[in-house]
C-alpha cells in the first residue's frame, strides 16, 4: 500500500502533482513502485488525493507497462491526517501488507528484508534509521522515533527525546486499521503516527535498523537535489570495472548521466552515440598529421566515458535488459576494431608497413580475446583472485588516448598487442583446471 494523497506544496514549483515530480527523469511514485517490484511485489494499492486524476492515469499506464496490478483508492480528505489514507484500504486488505510513503525512496533490499522478517498477529514492523547525523535527513521535518531495544516506544515529528528516524516503510498486520480508528476516537489524532503510538503503548511495534542502506524523504527542492545526487552515488560500480573506469571514467560519467537522465534518450541510444564517437575518431586517425590524431584520441576517451553512461542510465531509468547489455557489447567490439584498424593505418604512414600491420593485427586479436574471456570468465577469476584485477576496454581506450596525445601510434599498438595478449594468457593460466 502506498500513500500518495498529499498536496506537497513545497514541491509545487517542480510540478503540479507531487507524485509525478521527476527524480532523474522518472516520477517519484514510479521510483517507489519500482522499488517494490524489485522486491518481488506485484500487487499495489495506491491512495491518491490532490490532483488524483493525473496520478491515476499515469499509474494505469505504468501498471500495463510493468505487468502489475494497481488498485486505486481515493482520499478526498487529503489535507487531514495521513492515517485517513491508510483507512481507505481497511475493507480491502485482510492480510499482512507493506506500507510505503509515496515520496520516500529506498534501497529495494530494505523492502526485501522487511518482508522476510514478517510480523505476528496485531504487530507492526517499522524500518528505522539510527544514524542521527544522516546528511539526507532533514531533522526539523523528519518523523522521530524512540526505540528501546527493538521495541518502538513512541513516534512523532515533535518528539524531544528520540534515537532514530522513521523511514516511512512499515510491514503491517491489519491491526493497524483498528489502531488508527482508536487514535482518532480517543484523541482526535488521524495521523499514521497516532495509530503507531496506540500500538506502541501496547508493545505491538517492533523496529528494524536499516544500517547503511539508502533512503530519503523527497519533500522539498533541497531534498530533491539530494535524492538525485544520492541515487547517482549509489549506482554501484560494476564489479568488473577496470582501474581507469573506476577512478577516472565513473566520476565523470555519473555527472553526465545526471544531465542525460532528464533527456528523452534511452540507454541503447547512448550506446550508439558512444559507438558513433568511435567511428568519428577512427576516421580522424586515418587522416595524416598530429592534429587529427589528437582530436581522435580525445573522442576515443569521451566514447569510453559515455560507455559507462549507458549502463547508468539503464539503471536510473529502469531500462536494464539482456538485449541492451548484448547490444552494447556488440557495438563495443565494432568500435574497438575500427579504432585499432584506423590507428594501424595511421602508423603505416611513418614506418615499415608489414611490421605495423602485424602489430595492429595482434592488438586487435588481443583486444577481442580480452573481451571474450572477460565475458566468459570474470566470475571465475573473482573467485580465484580477491580483489579481482581486470584489464579491459577502459584501459584499452585510455592507452589509445594517451598514444594519440603523445603522437605515438605505433608504440601504443605495440603496448596493446603485448598487454592484451598477455592478459588473455594470464586468464587462461588462472582458470586452468576449472
Q: What tens digit of pLDDT does each residue of 123-169 get?
A: 999 999 999 999 999 999 999 999 999 999 999 999 999 999 999 99
Cell 486499521 belongs to 177
Q: How many CB atoms lie within 10 A of CB 429?
A: 8
Checking if the pLDDT of 237 tops 80, the result is no
Q: What is the pLDDT of residue 383?
A: 58
pLDDT band at residue 373 under the 50/70/90 scheme: confident
* CA end-to-end distance (rounded Å), the chain: 48
Average pLDDT over residues 202-226: 94
Checking if the pLDDT of 52 tops 80, the result is yes
Cell 592484451 belongs to 420
Q: Is 222 left (phi over 0), alpha (psi -120 to 50) or beta?
A: alpha
Checking if the pLDDT of 15 tops 60, the result is yes
Q: What is the pLDDT of residue 178?
A: 97
Whether the link from the prior residue into 387 is cis, omega within 30° of 0, is: yes
Q: What is the pLDDT of residue 150?
A: 92
Q: What is the pLDDT of residue 14?
A: 87
pLDDT band at residue 429 under the 50/70/90 scheme: confident
Residues 6+ away with beta carbon under 8 Å from 418 = none
The tens digit of pLDDT for each residue in 59-70 reads 999 999 999 999
Q: From 293, 284, 421, select the one nearest 363 (Cα to Cα).
A: 421
Checking if the pLDDT of 382 tops 80, the result is no
The tens digit of pLDDT for each residue in 274-287 reads 999 999 999 999 99
Checking if the pLDDT of 388 tops 60, the result is no
- State what percent of residues in the chain have pLDDT above 90: 79
Answer for the pair 214, 107: CB distance below 8 angstroms, yes or no. yes
The tens digit of pLDDT for each residue in 304-318 reads 999 999 999 999 998
What torsion do the CA atoms of 33, 35, 38, 40 make, to the nearest 10 degrees?
-60
Checking if the pLDDT of 204 tops 90, the result is yes
Average pLDDT over residues 31-59: 95
Checking if the pLDDT of 47 tops 50, the result is yes
Q: What is the model's pTM? A: 0.83
State the average pLDDT for the chain: 91
Residues 6+ away with beta carbon under 8 Å from 100 = 1, 2, 3, 32, 35, 36, 106, 111, 168, 169, 170
23: which 3 cell numbers? 527524480
Checking if the pLDDT of 210 tops 50, the result is yes
403: which 3 cell numbers? 598514444
Q: Which residues pair with 156 in a beta bridge?
A: 144
DSSP string of 284-326?
HHTSSSHHHHHHHHHHHHHHHHHHHHHHHHHHHTT---HHHHH
Cell 478526498 belongs to 76
For the chain, list the domains and their CATH numbers.
2-229 (3.90.550.10), 236-431 (1.20.120.1760)
114: which 3 cell numbers? 522487511
Q: What is the pLDDT of residue 392?
A: 82
More confident residue, 182 or 234: 182
Q: Which residues pair with 106 in a beta bridge?
A: 215
Classify strands 205-209 and 124-129 as parallel, antiparallel or unpaired: parallel
Indicate the SS3 state at residue 41.
coil
| Cα→Cα distances 300→304, 334, 337, 366, 393, Å | 6, 13, 13, 18, 11
The tens digit of pLDDT for each residue in 239-262 reads 557 788 888 998 899 999 999 998
Indicate the SS3 state at residue 382.
helix
More confident residue, 433 or 411: 411
Average pLDDT over residues 169-193: 95
Q: What is the pLDDT of residue 173?
A: 96
Amino acid at each position: 500500500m502506498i500513500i500518495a494523497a498529499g498536496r506537497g506544496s513545497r514541491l509545487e514549483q517542480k510540478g503540479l502533482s507531487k507524485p509525478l515530480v521527476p527524480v532523474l527523469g522518472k516520477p517519484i511514485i514510479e521510483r517507489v513502485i519500482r522499488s517494490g517490484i524489485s522486491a518481488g511485489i506485484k500487487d499495489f494499492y495506491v491512495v491518491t488525493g490532490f490532483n488524483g486524476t493525473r496520478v491515476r492515469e499515469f499509474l494505469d499506464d505504468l501498471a500495463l507497462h510493468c505487468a502489475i496490478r494497481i488498485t486505486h483508492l481515493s482520499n478526498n480528505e487529503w489535507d487531514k491526517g495521513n492515517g485517513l489514507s491508510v483507512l481507505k484500504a481497511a475493507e480491502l486488505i485482510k492480510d499482512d501488507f507493506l506500507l510505503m510513503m509515496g515520496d520516500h525512496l529506498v534501497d529495494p533490499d530494505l523492502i526485501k528484508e522487511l518482508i522476510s522478517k514478517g510480523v505476528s498477529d496485531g504487530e507492526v514492523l517499522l524500518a528505522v534509521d539510527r544514524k542521527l547525523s544522516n546528511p539526507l535527513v532533514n531533522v526539523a521535518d523528519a518523523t522521530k522515533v524512540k526505540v528501546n531495544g527493538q521495541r518502538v516506544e513512541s513516534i512523532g515529528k515533535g518528539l524531544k527525546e528520540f534515537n532514530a528516524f522513521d523511514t516511512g516503510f512499515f510491514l503491517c498486520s491489519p491491526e493497524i486499521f483498528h489502531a488508527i480508528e482508536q487514535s482518532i476516537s480517543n484523541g482526535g489524532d488521524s495521523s499514521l503516527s497516532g495509530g503507531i503510538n496506540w500500538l506502541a503503548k501496547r508493545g505491538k511495534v517492533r523496529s528494524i535498523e536499516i544500517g547503511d542502506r539508502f533512503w530519503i524523504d523527497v519533500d522539498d527542492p533541497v531534498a530533491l537535489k539530494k535524492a538525485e545526487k544520492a541515487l547517482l552515488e549509489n549506482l554501484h560500480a560494476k564489479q568488473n570495472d577496470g582501474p581507469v573506469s573506476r577512478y577516472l571514467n565513473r566520476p565523470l560519467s555519473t555527472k553526465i548521466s545526471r544531465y542525460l537522465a532528464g533527456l528523452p534518450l534511452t540507454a541503447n541510444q547512448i550506446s550508439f552515440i558512444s559507438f558513433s564517437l568511435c567511428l568519428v575518431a577512427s576516421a580522424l586517425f586515418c587522416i595524416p598529421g598530429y592534429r587529427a590524431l589528437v582530436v581522435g584520441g580525445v573522442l576515443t576517451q569521451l566514447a569510453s566515458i559515455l560507455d559507462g553512461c549507458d549502463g547508468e542510465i539503464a539503471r536510473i531509468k529502469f531500462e536494464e535488459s539482456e538485449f541492451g547489455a548484448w547490444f552494447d557489447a556488440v557495438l563495443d567490439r565494432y568500435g574497438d576494431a575500427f579504432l585499432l584498424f584506423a590507428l594501424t593505418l595511421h602508423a603505416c604512414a611513418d614506418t615499415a608497413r608489414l611490421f605495423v600491420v602485424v602489430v595492429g593485427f595482434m592488438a586487435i586479436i588481443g583486444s577481442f580475446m580480452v573481451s571474450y574471456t572477460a565475458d566468459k570468465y570474470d566470475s571465475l577469476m573473482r573467485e580465484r583472485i580477491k580483489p579481482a584485477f581486470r584489464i579491459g576496454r577502459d584501459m584499452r581506450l585510455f592507452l589509445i588516448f594517451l598514444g594519440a596525445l603523445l603522437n605515438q601510434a605505433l608504440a601504443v599498438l605495440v603496448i596493446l598487442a603485448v598487454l592484451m595478449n598477455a592478459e588473455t594468457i594470464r586468464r587462461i593460466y588462472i582458470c586452468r583446471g576449472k
